[in-house]
Structure 1
């Protein structure tokens, strides 16, 4: 059985009335609960968008979710980072809420490239002297990253061409 965690209670205004929605997380997805056939059922909400809001020079990430009509319809915004209230109730929000959970339509497309992205990131980190950037400033660091990408692609192209030039070895002989 999957772990379900209470995340937040939101009070939303829908027309001339207020609707209170309790949000839960299961397997990284945000959802609501409804009683169906005498059983409490978790209903995963559809992610509408992921956005960030500037706050005192830092950025805070949020997901907007479509609510079912039984909960007032419209959308609800959920923050993806923890805060003081989460720490007070010992909720690790980043452990329970994923920006793009496994049930999301974008998950498979993004998850396929995750290992490549992590491998490239590891290669970049390994090239840093004592873990420090090679340059100062975002434009210079971007130039370094582009140069690194060109170098990696050049080496991969060289190896590919060399492999094409070599005749296959006959293992049966």
Structure 2
């Protein structure tokens, strides 16, 4: 009985003659060509194009910062002393309000502010411990006011996609952008 079972297994193995164990890796490493090996063996670049860093106000007390940076090239020569990347928040007068450690590979972070006003956000690291290395600085961020804004009547107009701005100016005459929008809004109300 044992002999019959062994023969059956032998026959099953012969059916898969194309299978063999390789002495070398069959999947190339992500380090080889700057690609990350993401599920299914699809390689994607770590960063796309030039480094990008931006920050915008999310609400009156929160800033959203986002980045797309090739960290391997940034830390090619030396790693940060504390092995962390920091976001520093500066008020309009240049005073540093806050510094927070962030996960660089996350590509984003929300940071809270203490008061309404203008801010700049800076991304960087320390190397050595007391020397700051700036990677990127955001443009000025103006925080929105607190509270609910008043409701106002607004005239909206749908501009036909086949009309260019120059054609509209020709139709309605030379005017400022506001006047042109008002004229088009009145025209649309009459047409409907």
TM-score by length of 1: 0.25
TM-score by length of 2: 0.23
The one of the two structures with greater contact order (alpha-carbon pairs below 8 A, sep at least 6) is 2
Larger Rg: 2
Higher helix share: 1
